[in-house]
Amino acid sequence: MLLMCAVIFGFTMLNKPSEAELAERQRIQDSIAAAQKQTANANKPMTMLSPDEVRQLQAVMAEHSADSSRQGIDDGNVKLGLVDGQVTGTVTVADITLAFDELLSASADDVHRQAVEAVKQALDKYAKNGAFAASMSGTEQIVKLRNDSLEVEVSTKGGVITRAKLLAYKAYNTPLVEVITPEDNQYSFVLSNNTQRFETQNFFFTPEQVTDSTVLMKLDLGGGATWGLKYTLERGSYMVRMEMVQSGMSQIIPLNINSVDLKWHQKMARHEEGKMFEERNSAIYYKYAGENGDVEYTKESGDDEEDIKDRLKWISTKNQFFSAVLIADSVFGGAHLESREIKKDAADYQTHLKVMDIRTTVPYASDKANPASFYFFFGPNRYKLLSSYDKYSPKEDLKLTKLIPLGWKLFRWINTGIIIPVFNWLGSFISSYGIIILILTILLKIVLSPLTFKSYMSQAKMRVLGPDIAAINEKYPGQENAMKRQQKTMELYSLAGANPMGGCLPMLLQMPILIAMFTFFPSCIELRGQAFLWAKDLSAPDKIWEWGAQIPFITNYFGNHISLFCLLMTVTNIGYTYLTMQSQQSQQSMPGMKVMMYLMPLMFLVFFNNYASGLSYYYFISLLITIAQTYACRALVSEDKVRATIAANRAKPRKKSGMMARLEEMQRQQQQMLKEQEKRNKKKK
């Protein structure tokens, strides 16, 4: 093998071409490539601008020019003007700049062809925009409106709000939360007549009436026709008033046109360190018009697309803690909504959440000075703040608080009627939200303590009756005695005044509050950025250990970290489970239940590890208090006293309950059916 390798290596070295031979080979290849390119170009059709297209360019630029400084086309790479009635300028394609005169001669060169095509596209664009064409070139300017809460930037390009900064909130990677940015957000009105469509994002507006709180973005369309958007930022508010302002538009838009289109595109930026949970709470929300109109939203996970035929009052792009809401003074005439997740392999996966597109229509009349008006809300999803904005619609409840996911109707009622008022009241004089959660938990436990005591008493009775139940099971063994065994057990419960569901029912009555708190804490913006003990942010997981690897099957829920409050909650939950199992006899007859009871805390660890640390902290404190209540009940209630109570109940004459009577009747009927079945089997034999 060594000799073979040596021979092959030697042969290769001997036959290696010299530098002169390599150069000759390259020259031949270059000649072939040049010949092939020349042949390809020879087969391409020659292109040039025709005399008719040049005359059309001259007419378009001259007809719609409002002043001498705007006699031309500035469409990115195409920059053309009029000098003594002649078209002049340049076109840049593939980093190569060609003079306009070069496009008047025929050529098959690729750059020449692309330049001619770019001029034709620009001509088509300007020709289609009629009276608006004079506004298609200009220099972008930014006008800032600001109050104590919000700063918005309005651009002359499109006359739209391009940026909205919340001055009181920080993002995880930027100094301030920006609900919308120029790179990620665009909206535009589309006006149309019988033959043309005019999209406002293509035009350069002139700013007028500029103050710290107001600006009018205006288009002068000639012949006395003007169209614009007026923005007014209200003092101390997150609301921006947007009014459509016009005059003389009936000469451009006929009266039979009764609506304009509105397009809104947003690539939703990420604001929170916990991207997974923020993404789950991002969607397009909308409210149907009318006092009884409900609030709906697109799917929060995966892609979604909806066509809505009914009229809407407002439409919003909403994430976990912040929203941009467009509220119509009148209505939106239905909408087409699209929400798409950003794929994990995309370059902007870590910085953005979803891509959202909204298309709707707005009632319009070209002879009205103010055909349409709106409110833009750029702000936090704070319950008290959102509920205060109902005043902007006196005829119907805006229901902006539905932007905050507080659970189904019962759980939402608990949150809005009890939890949020108490939470806000405590927050009015306590600065630490960790202490507020502690006090809130104690108050809830005090209110629920009668149910807790009743549950413990029921468990104590069942524990005392354990030997009697075991005796019944021994006396009536087997499946054939199942009904008799059940009947005797129920009689025992009845005589002793015990209820097997007595321990579960009080716990079930507490479940709505536990579930309400589960929906409250992840949506509570007051906890955002609030530190407590080792947790830097009570609205995010309190990570004490992170890793880069992905755990199969559970990473989507668990994440790639350990949250300390969640871990403490799990350990406490296991301790409470052990305490509960000691006081119950069910594990003797159902061994599998014991394993299941200990698995539940571990499942909670998986699902809660990625949730807000404030939620895990609440459950941790709640479990500690429950354990303390259990020991207190044991100290206050002795089993001897429970036995005495049971003995007294047995001595009392008890009226048979309706449920017991029905159960006995069912048992009697079943026994009768079994006897008849046995008789039929004997006859067959």
- pLDDT tens sequence across 110-134: 888 888 888 888 777 777 766 676 6
Q: Tell whether 458 and 356 lie within a shared domain.
A: no
pLDDT band at 23 (very low <50, low <70, confident <90, very high): confident
- Last residue of a domain, which of 347, 370, 393? 393
pLDDT band at 164 (very low <50, low <70, confident <90, very high): very high
Mean pLDDT of 371-396: 87
The tens digit of pLDDT for each residue in 486-542 reads 766 666 666 555 555 555 555 666 778 888 888 888 888 888 888 888 888 888 778
SS3 label, residue 236: coil
User: Residue 647's pLDDT is what?
Assistant: 62
* Residue 412 falls inside a structural domain: no
pLDDT band at 154 (very low <50, low <70, confident <90, very high): very high
Please state, in angstroms and as integers, the Cα–Cα distance from residue 326 to each residue in 237, 371, 378, following that order.
15, 16, 9
Q: Tell whether 196 and 111 lie within a shared domain.
A: no
User: Residue 67's pLDDT is what?
Assistant: 47
Choose between 450 and 389: higher pLDDT.
Answer: 389
| Helical segments of 465-499, H only | 466-475, 482-496
Mean pLDDT of 578-599: 63
User: Residue 460's pLDDT is what?
Assistant: 63
Tell whether the model's pLDDT for residue 196 goes beyond 90: no
Q: Tell whether 371 and 500 lie within a shared domain.
A: no
The answer to whether residues 84 and 93 touch, using CB atoms and an 8 Å cutoff, is no
* Residue 433 falls inside a structural domain: yes
User: Residue 69's pLDDT is what?
Assistant: 44
* Residue 320 falls inside a structural domain: yes
The answer to whether residues 84 and 102 touch, using CB atoms and an 8 Å cutoff, is no
Mean pLDDT of 278-305: 86
User: Residue 587's pLDDT is what?
Assistant: 42
Q: Tell whether 454 and 495 lie within a shared domain.
A: yes
Mean pLDDT of 320-339: 90
Beta carbons within 8 Å of 156's beta carbon, 6+ residues apart: 138, 139, 140, 141, 142, 143, 204, 205, 206, 207, 217
Q: Tell whether 88 and 190 lie within a shared domain.
A: no
pLDDT band at 555 (very low <50, low <70, confident <90, very high): low
Tell whether the model's pLDDT for residue 39 goes beyond 60: no
Compute the distance between CA of residue 64 and CA of residue 33 in angstroms, rounded to an integer.
48
pLDDT band at 66 (very low <50, low <70, confident <90, very high): very low
pLDDT band at 594 (very low <50, low <70, confident <90, very high): low
Give the dihedral sign, CA 198/255/330/231. positive
- Last residue of a domain, which of 128, 155, 190? 128
The tens digit of pLDDT for each residue in 83-94 reads 777 888 888 887
Mean pLDDT of 663-681: 68
What is the spatial order of strands in the sheet that 142-146 belongs to?
142-146, 150-155, 161-166, 177-180
Q: Tell whether 193 and 269 lie within a shared domain.
A: yes
Burial (CB < 10 A; 0-12, 13-18, 19+), residue 287, is: buried
Q: For 186-190, 391-395, 472-476, 565-569, which range has the lowest pLDDT when averaged over its residues?
A: 472-476
User: Residue 114's pLDDT is what?
Assistant: 86
The tens digit of pLDDT for each residue in 518-531 reads 888 888 888 888 88
User: Residue 465's pLDDT is what?
Assistant: 62
Choose between 544 and 480: higher pLDDT.
Answer: 544
Q: Tell whether 103 and 161 lie within a shared domain.
A: no
Q: Tell whether 169 and 119 lie within a shared domain.
A: no
Tell whether the model's pLDDT for residue 14 goes beyond 50: yes
- Last residue of a domain, which of 83, 104, 128? 128
Most confident of 49-63, 88-102, 650-664: 88-102
User: Residue 325's pLDDT is what?
Assistant: 93
Mean pLDDT of 598-616: 78
User: Residue 263's pLDDT is what?
Assistant: 93
* Residue 3 falls inside a structural domain: no
* Residue 676 falls inside a structural domain: no
Q: Tell whether 120 and 155 lie within a shared domain.
A: no
- Domain hosting 78: range is 51-128
- Based on the structure, what is the number of domains in the chain? 3
Beta carbons within 8 Å of 102's beta carbon, 6+ residues apart: 112, 115
What token pair was written down for 585? 């006899």
Q: Tell whether 356 and 443 lie within a shared domain.
A: no
* Residue 23 falls inside a structural domain: no
Mean pLDDT of 441-462: 74
User: Residue 489's pLDDT is what?
Assistant: 66
CATH number at residue 245: 2.70.98.90
Q: Tell whether 266 and 294 lie within a shared domain.
A: yes
User: Residue 244's pLDDT is what?
Assistant: 92
* Residue 654 falls inside a structural domain: no
The answer to whether residues 144 and 162 touch, using CB atoms and an 8 Å cutoff, is no
pLDDT band at 285 (very low <50, low <70, confident <90, very high): very high
Most confident of 5-14, 28-37, 96-105, 212-221: 212-221
Tell whether the model's pLDDT for residue 73 goes beyond 90: no
Tell whether the model's pLDDT for residue 586 goes beyond 50: no
Tell whether the model's pLDDT for residue 174 goes beyond 70: yes
Mean pLDDT of 279-291: 88
Q: Tell whether 91 and 236 lie within a shared domain.
A: no
* Average pLDDT of every residue of the chain: 79
Choose between 156 and 392: higher pLDDT.
Answer: 156
* Residue 148 falls inside a structural domain: yes
Compute the distance between CA of residue 613 and CA of residue 610 in angstroms, rounded to an integer.
8
